[in-house]
């Protein structure tokens, strides 16, 4: 027999066990040996997402519309698997800024705005109220159902029970007590509630095991496994429909998925366990698959239990939301029923405790404290120890929040199913999403944008979801829903502005998100950020680019005395905590605070962050402002900070870039240096070669002149031989000087060219005529092969002739000593005019074929008899041909002569640069 007392005692014993766990873990944490610092506990604590709504409500929904309960779990899974980087960023930011709640987060992002903190807190409290009432309803309903054991009846309270006899009210009070015990031990809200987290994780295990136990019992106890159960269901017409995807529209699936994706981040309690209570960012890596795994496991038996319930209780006499409890009762499984009840209780208390703690932090830090601090007549800023006051505010707000939850339950009563109530809360929490997501990825999002978006979204939510729930339960006339307020059809809360064809939730989400996102973006684009907003925006958006040492914002540059700051901190966090924190600060920087009179900006910022942990960012700012006499940073400082933070990307990117560039530059420099050295060497070589080439004929000239002068008695024949040498060497000298000057002019681009359309045949003929003496002298045989028609080319006539004469004299010089043969040919080719001069001399070795076109380079190593010549002829020829846009080269089989050839394009190609 399950008497009321035994249920009550078991419940209390269970709650005491929870508290014992929490107490033990807290003690361990105080001793510095954290129990919860592992990803498994972290993932289990996130499973506080699964409340009694999951425990009872999913089955209820599955019993009426099949697998429609799934999107609620699909959303969070998606967020964790796909959007983990959003979570990671939020966690990183929150750690850097000692964020204590979602209200703190949003207000901090938008310039530590008190206004936003208040707004978010109000939305959260009002929005979560239905959710808490849901837990109260679930616990009290399940208690009342279990009380009927072994009868299976859903108690329908006729009329309203007096508050003091209402199970739900008692449940609310007990839960408030536990929340206070768990959650308000520390004053610093940013410190981890390790005990609470451990208790929550334990509860997550209990509810999972309880649910699995019921599921296994239904599937394998009442039936012979899944196959049997599903076969039976298929054979029963009214149940079979649950097995098809007929229920809701895809639109609703989408809505629910999106909603729950947002909820897993935006629900205050999820923010609390996922972000605030996170002890190590790395735990998220495991949680991203552990938590979805938990969701998967707890959902396996939802459908089997729903089917089992429908089959066991045909006709709908038993509330489907209670199947988890009533099915064991139906089979007289006393202990299983009690265990299921404990599981449901676990789910509910877990949610209520965490939500109450999260909301109370928000209420005290973002709602009450700012107001109290503004009421100057309270002279709060001058009071002594404020920790007691802070704790009182937190505790009072926990009680208040639970009472509000109860009030909603009491007012709305039995009119809505668990799932419906929960979704109303989800939709409220989802209103935070634009401000959060925008806030961490979009620097231009402004406070006015966030305030506008949130207010509009919240107003629409209240109008389309909250007010109708009051109407349905009779507190507002039902016409409000059916005909619109004052009969205005366009304002019907479920068909706003005539929008039909959506379920009420999708409809509400559509309108609220439209005005929320629209307002946020529009106002952000139209309004300007204040200095502090810009700093915070940069710090939030660029959180991964800041050095970890930097911590929160450096808003203060003003001064405060160390004593003032110390007193301020002591007032809010207590003496021991304050001394510990300040001591750590001093040690880390090697300071002696006792000797320091004036606090620098760093210490002021440190104090602000410390206070932010206790009373929230907005209040901390007000408090620090009361002792820090310095001004707020000016715009130029903001710019500096912005540079440091928002442009760190460029810093690190450009650092990489710069080091790459440096490497490249170094390489370039080295190459340039080598090139310079090479040029220097070349210049040196050139000068010494020129010197050598000039001195050689000069030596002969001088020697023979002096010989002639000193030996007047020389015979006539010898005289004339010496004079001939002098004349020849003088000519050689003149030619050489001209060539050097030509080359220098061409290389410097100062050559004057007289370009004209020229018949190449005439030029070749003339060149042959000029060289005929040379040819005859060496009795070289000449062959000329010119095509019948040679195209005209646009060149400088004299220069072209210079090239051909050069090649001819080279050929004569190098051709066979006794049977010399020189072949000149010209024709039209694809490249243009083609002219070649071939000899039958020793040829040019392949390694020399490029080199001989360099100045002063003669491939003369192989020649015993060094041919006369400056070594500039080919270099000059190359310059000329290239100036005409053509090219010059040599073909040779060593031992079988060489053929020098060049081409000149017919289309006047753009002048190849004349300077090398």
Longest dimension (CA), the chain: 158
Taking the complex as a whole, the smallest distance from the CB of residue 806 to other proteins amounts, in Å, to: 22
d(CA 422, CA 73): 13
Give the residue with the Cβ less far from other proteins, 656 or 731: 731
List the one residue from 156, 500, 789, 866 that touches other proteins (CB under 8 A): 866
Query: Is 814 an interacting residue with respect to other proteins (CB under 8 A)?
Result: no
| Cis bond before residue 150 (omega within 30° of 0) | yes
Q: What angle do helix axes 447-461 and 418-430 make, rounded to 10 degrees?
A: 160
Q: Which residues, listed in sequence order, are joined to residue 599 by a DSSP beta bridge?
A: 560
List the one residue from 701, 790, 822, 824 that touches other proteins (CB under 8 A): 701
Dihedral angle sign, alpha carbons of residues 559, 561, 567, 569: positive
Query: Is 870 an interacting residue with respect to other proteins (CB under 8 A)?
Result: no
Query: Is 711 an interacting residue with respect to other proteins (CB under 8 A)?
Result: yes
Taking the complex as a whole, the smallest distance from the CB of residue 803 to other proteins amounts, in Å, to: 27
- Cβ atoms of 116 and 530 within 8 Å: the answer is no
Q: Which residues, listed in sequence order, are joined to residue 786 by a DSSP beta bridge?
A: 826
Query: Is 702 an interacting residue with respect to other proteins (CB under 8 A)?
Result: yes
Q: How far is CA 452 from CA 128, 424, 432, 447, in A?
A: 21, 21, 12, 8
Taking the complex as a whole, the smallest distance from the CB of residue 855 to other proteins amounts, in Å, to: 16
Taking the complex as a whole, the smallest distance from the CB of residue 729 to other proteins amounts, in Å, to: 6
Taking the complex as a whole, the smallest distance from the CB of residue 746 to other proteins amounts, in Å, to: 24
d(CA 406, CA 135): 10
> Of 632-640, 721-729, 773-781, 896-904, which part binds other proteins (CB under 8 A)?
721-729
> Of 47-55, 78-86, 626-634, 696-704, which part binds other proteins (CB under 8 A)?
696-704
Least Cα distance to 258 among 48, 416, 82, 54 occurs for 82
Taking the complex as a whole, the smallest distance from the CB of residue 873 to other proteins amounts, in Å, to: 18
List the one residue from 717, 777, 861, 907 that touches other proteins (CB under 8 A): 861
Dihedral angle sign, alpha carbons of residues 151, 156, 159, 165: positive
Query: Is 725 an interacting residue with respect to other proteins (CB under 8 A)?
Result: yes
Give the residue with the Cβ less far from other proteins, 309 or 871: 871
> Of 172-180, 694-702, 762-770, 880-888, which part binds other proteins (CB under 8 A)?
694-702
- Cβ atoms of 693 and 736 within 8 Å: the answer is yes
Query: Is 777 an interacting residue with respect to other proteins (CB under 8 A)?
Result: no
Query: Is 280 an interacting residue with respect to other proteins (CB under 8 A)?
Result: no
Query: Is 857 an interacting residue with respect to other proteins (CB under 8 A)?
Result: no
Least Cα distance to 468 among 499, 442, 503 occurs for 503
> Of 251-259, 535-543, 614-622, 861-869, which part binds other proteins (CB under 8 A)?
861-869
Compute how many residues bind other proteins; rule: CB under 8 A: 27
Residue 871, SS3 per DSSP: coil
- Cβ atoms of 257 and 78 within 8 Å: the answer is yes
In this structure, the number of other CB atoms found within 10 A of the CB of residue 331 comes to 16
> Of 78-86, 210-218, 700-708, 830-838, which part binds other proteins (CB under 8 A)?
700-708
Query: Is 415 an interacting residue with respect to other proteins (CB under 8 A)?
Result: no
- Cβ atoms of 197 and 273 within 8 Å: the answer is yes
Judging by DSSP bridges, how do beta strands 832-839 and 821-829 pair with one another?
antiparallel
List the one residue from 9, 649, 776, 863 that touches other proteins (CB under 8 A): 863
Give the residue with the Cβ less far from other proteins, 708 or 906: 708
> Of 369-377, 747-755, 849-857, 862-870, which part binds other proteins (CB under 8 A)?
862-870
Query: Is 907 an interacting residue with respect to other proteins (CB under 8 A)?
Result: no
Query: Is 781 an interacting residue with respect to other proteins (CB under 8 A)?
Result: no
The contact mask relative to other proteins for 341-370 (x = CB under 8 A, - = no) is ------------------------------
Query: Is 691 an interacting residue with respect to other proteins (CB under 8 A)?
Result: yes
Taking the complex as a whole, the smallest distance from the CB of residue 869 to other proteins amounts, in Å, to: 12
Burial of 317 (0-12, 13-18, 19+ CB in 10 A): exposed
Give the residue with the Cβ less far from other proteins, 27 or 702: 702
Query: Is 829 an interacting residue with respect to other proteins (CB under 8 A)?
Result: no
Q: What angle do helix axes 323-330 and 194-216 make, rounded to 10 degrees?
A: 50
List the one residue from 79, 700, 802, 879 that touches other proteins (CB under 8 A): 700
- For residue 760, what are the contacts with CB-CB under 8 A and spacing of at least 6? 790, 791, 792, 793, 800, 826, 833, 835, 904
Taking the complex as a whole, the smallest distance from the CB of residue 690 to other proteins amounts, in Å, to: 9
Tell me, rounded to whole angstroms, the distance of Cα 324 from its chain centroid: 44
Query: Is 707 an interacting residue with respect to other proteins (CB under 8 A)?
Result: yes
CA atoms within 13 A on the CB side of 478: 4
List the one residue from 698, 768, 770, 901 that touches other proteins (CB under 8 A): 698
Query: Is 847 an interacting residue with respect to other proteins (CB under 8 A)?
Result: no
Least Cα distance to 35 among 25, 45, 23, 24 occurs for 25
Q: State in Å, rounded, how far the first CA of the chain is from the last one.
A: 109
Taking the complex as a whole, the smallest distance from the CB of residue 715 to other proteins amounts, in Å, to: 13
Residue with tokens 């040379």: 774
Query: Is 677 an interacting residue with respect to other proteins (CB under 8 A)?
Result: no
Please give the residue ranges that form the binding site for other proteins (CB under 8 A): 688-689, 691-692, 695-704, 706-707, 710-711, 725, 728-729, 860-861, 863-866
């Amino acid at each position: 027999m399950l008497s009321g007392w035994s249920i009550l005692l078991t419940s209390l014993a269970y709650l005491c066990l929870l508290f014992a766990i929490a107490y033990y873990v807290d003690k361990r944490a105080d001793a510095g040996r954290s129990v919860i610092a592992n990803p498994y506990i972290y993932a289990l604590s996130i499973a506080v997402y699964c409340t009694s709504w999951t425990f009872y409500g999913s089955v209820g929904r599955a019993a009426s519309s099949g697998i429609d309960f799934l999107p609620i779990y699909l959303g969070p899974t998606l967020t964790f698997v796909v959007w983990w980087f959003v979570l990671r960023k939020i966690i990183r930011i929150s750690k850097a800024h000692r964020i204590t709640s979602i209200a703190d987060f949003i207000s901090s992002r938008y310039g530590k705005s008190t206004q936003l903190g208040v707004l978010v807190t109000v939305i959260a409290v009002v929005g979560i109220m239905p959710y808490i009432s849901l837990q109260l309803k679930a616990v009290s309903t399940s208690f009342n159902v279990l009380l009927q054991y072994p009868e299976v009846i859903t108690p329908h309270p006729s009329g309203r029970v007096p508050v003091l006899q209402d199970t739900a009210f008692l449940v609310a009070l007990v839960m408030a007590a536990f929340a206070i015990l768990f959650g308000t031990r520390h004053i610093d809200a940013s410190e981890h509630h390790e005990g609470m987290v451990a208790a929550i994780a334990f509860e997550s295990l209990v509810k999972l095991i309880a649910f699995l136990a019921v599921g296994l019992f239904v599937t394998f106890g009442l039936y012979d496994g899944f196959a049997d159960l599903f076969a039976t269901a298929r054979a029963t017409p009214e149940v079979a429909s649950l097995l098809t995807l007929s229920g809701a529209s895809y639109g609703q699936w989408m809505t629910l998925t999106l909603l729950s994706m947002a909820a897993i981040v935006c629900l205050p309690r999820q923010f609390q366990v996922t972000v605030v209570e996170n002890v190590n960012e790395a735990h998220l890596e495991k949680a991203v698959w552990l938590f979805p795994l938990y969701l998967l496991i707890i959902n396996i038996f939802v459908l089997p239990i729903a089917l089992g319930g429908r089959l066991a209780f045909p006709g709908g006499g038993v509330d489907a939301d209670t199947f988890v409890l009533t099915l064991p009762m139906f089979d007289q499984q006393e202990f299983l029923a009690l265990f299921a009840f404990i599981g449901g209780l676990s789910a509910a208390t877990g949610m209520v405790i965490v939500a109450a703690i999260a909301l109370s932090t928000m209420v005290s830090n973002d709602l009450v404290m700012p107001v109290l601090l503004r009421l100057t007549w309270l002279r709060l800023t001058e009071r002594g120890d404020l920790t007691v006051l802070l704790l009182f505010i937190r505790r009072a707000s926990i009680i208040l929040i639970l009472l509000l939850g109860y009030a909603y339950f009491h007012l709305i009563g039995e009119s809505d199913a668990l799932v419906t109530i929960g979704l109303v809360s989800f939709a409220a929490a989802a209103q935070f999403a634009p401000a959060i997501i925008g806030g961490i990825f979009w620097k231009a999002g402004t406070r006015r944008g966030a305030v506008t978006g949130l207010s509009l979204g919240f107003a629409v939510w209240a109008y389309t979801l909250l007010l109708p729930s009051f109407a349905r339960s009779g507190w507002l006339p039902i016409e409000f829903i059916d005909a619109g307020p004052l009969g205005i059809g366009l304002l019907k809360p479920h068909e706003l502005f005539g929008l039909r064809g959506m379920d009420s939730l999708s409809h509400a989400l559509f309108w609220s998100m439209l005005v929320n996102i629209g307002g946020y973006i529009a106002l952000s684009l139209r309004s300007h950020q204040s200095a502090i907003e810009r700093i915070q925006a940069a710090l939030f958006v660029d959180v991964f680019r800041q050095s970890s040492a930097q911590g929160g914002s450096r808003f203060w540059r003003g001064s405060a005395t160390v004593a003032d700051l110390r007193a301020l901190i002591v007032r809010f966090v207590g003496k021991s905590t304050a001394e510990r924190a300040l001591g750590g600060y001093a040690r880390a920087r090697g300071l002696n605070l006792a000797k320091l009179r004036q606090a620098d900006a760093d210490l002021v910022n440190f104090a602000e962050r410390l206070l932010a942990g206790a009373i929230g960012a907005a209040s901390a700012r007000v408090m620090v402002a009361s002792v820090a006499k310095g001004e707020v940073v000016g715009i130029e400082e903001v710019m500096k900070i912005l540079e440091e933070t928002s442009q760190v990307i460029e810093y690190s990117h450009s650092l990489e870039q710069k080091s790459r560039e440096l490497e490249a530059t170094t390489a370039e420099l080295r190459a340039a240096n080598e090139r310079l050295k090479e040029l220097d060497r070349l210049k040196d070589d050139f000068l010494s070669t020129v010197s050598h080439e000039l001195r050689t004929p000069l030596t002969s000239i001088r020697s023979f002149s002096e010989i002639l002068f000193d030996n007047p008695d020389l015979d006539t024949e010898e005289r004339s031989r010496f004079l001939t040498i002098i004349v020849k060497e003088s000519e050689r000298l003149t030619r050489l000087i001209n060539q050097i000057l030509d080359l220098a002019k061409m290389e410097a681009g100062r050559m004057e060219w007289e370009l004209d359309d020229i018949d190449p045949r005439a030029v070749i003929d003339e060149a042959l005529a000029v060289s005929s003496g040379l040819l005859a002298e060496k009795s070289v045989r000449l062959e000329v092969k010119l095509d019948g028609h040679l195209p005209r080319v646009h060149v400088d006539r004299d220069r072209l002739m210079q090239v051909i004469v050069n090649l001819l004299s080279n050929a004569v010089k190098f051709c066979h000593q006794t049977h010399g043969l020189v072949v000149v040919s010209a024709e039209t080719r694809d490249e243009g005019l083609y002219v070649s001069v071939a000899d039958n001399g020793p040829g040019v070795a392949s390694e020399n074929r490029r080199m001989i076109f360099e100045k002063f380079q003669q491939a003369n190593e192989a020649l015993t008899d060094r041919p006369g010549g400056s070594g500039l002829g080919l270099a000059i020829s190359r310059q000329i041909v290239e100036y005409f846009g053509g090219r010059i080269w040599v073909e040779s089989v060593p031992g079988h002569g060489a053929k020098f050839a060049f081409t000149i394009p017919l289309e006047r190609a753009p002048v190849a640069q004349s300077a090398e």
